[in-house]
Chains A and B, each alone.
Chain A
Amino acid sequence: NAGVMQNPRHLVRRRGQEARLRCSPMKGHSHVYWYRQLPEEGLKFMVYLQKENIIDESGMPKERFSAEFPKEGPSILRIQQVVRGDSAAYFCASSISRGLNTEAFFGQGTRLTVV
């Protein structure tokens, strides 16, 4: 059973370009969470999605960032018109449900560098 798969592992974008980060949850998991880790900091929650729905986007920047989790295919975190401050590691986690005793499993992350 493969774990949470994120791709690409490393992504370099020039300022003003778009970045698309993909996350395939573990088999049978329908809940996905995106986190951002800035250099020398811990992970910060961005958004929580279930299939086709955004449940909690309280950690998402108001502009340029969007996320989706379609019925088929991976979850996508999209950053438009990237700036240097977007350089970070972006982690995805998935869980089978959201309730008691459920564990979220993390992917290996996508490291975005904006030049």
Chain B
Amino acid sequence: AQSVTQLDSQVPVFEEAPVELRCNYSSSVSVYLFWYVQYPNQGLQLLLKYLSGSTLVKGINGFEAEFNKSQTSFHLRKPSVHISDTAEYFCAVGLNTNAGKSTFGDGTTLTVKP
């Protein structure tokens, strides 16, 4: 079985500041790792994913994440946030044998203040 822990439920930051949203996972088998963003009353949009290869993954909207196998982490970062980045962010792990069956963390609410 897999599990995901998002270490911060709320992250307030000022506009143009850097941000890191933390995610740790556990799994006994190989997994894929994902970050999704959810705007209010909207569905989930994929920000980035790690399948294999380079441990630094770049995604949309200037986000990137680094896979650290030894620490079982997949933290999301952005060097300079905008007001429009205010949203809920979900880290998820998926089995490498099934694209759509994922285990999600409880989410981190990013609030960007002017």
Contacts and interface: CB of A to CB of B under 8 A. Distances in A.
Nearest to A34: B100
A91 B102 contact: no
Given A45-B102, A91-B44, A99 B97 contact: yes
Contacts of A104: 99-100, 102
A1 interface: no
Name the interface size band of chain B: 20 to 34
Interface in B40-80: 41-46, 49, 51
Given A106-B43, A107-B43, A109-B43, A48 B104 contact: no
Interface residues of A, number: 31
A40 B38 CA distance: 13
Given A42-B90, A42-B104, A101-B51, A95 B43 contact: no
Nearest to A96: B99
A102 B98 CA distance: 8
Nearest to A92: B43
25 contacts: A31-B99, A32-B100, A42-B4, A42-B90, A42-B104, A42-B106, A42-B107, A43-B44, A45-B102, A48-B98, A56-B101, A91-B43, A91-B44, A95-B99, A98-B98, A98-B99, A100-B51, A101-B51, A104-B99, A104-B100, A106-B36, A106-B43, A106-B44, A108-B42, A108-B43
Interface of A: 4, 31-33, 35, 40-45, 48, 56, 91, 93-95, 97-109, 111
Listed from nearest, the 9 A-B pairs whose CB atoms lie closest are A104-B100, A102-B99, A42-B104, A108-B43, A33-B100, A106-B44, A43-B104, A95-B99, A42-B106
